[in-house]
Amino acid sequence: MSGFIKRLDWVQNLLRNSFNRRMTK
């Protein structure tokens, strides 16, 4: 279960990074 949570957090972080990159440009 903890692995699933970690993966969810990783996905959220990836989405946030791509979103920030799109907004800054």
Q: What is the pTM of this model?
A: 0.56
Residues 1-25 pLDDT 10s: 789 999 999 999 999 999 999 988 7
DSSP state of 25: -
Phi/psi at 22 (5° precision) = -70, -35
Give the H or E element holding residue 10: helix 2-24
d(CA 22, CA 7): 23
What's the distance, CA 8 to chain centroid? 8
Give the pLDDT score at 1: 75
Rounded distance, CA 18 to CA 10, Å? 12
Q: Given this model, what pLDDT does residue 24 score?
A: 84
Structure tokens that stand for 24 in this block: 């800054």
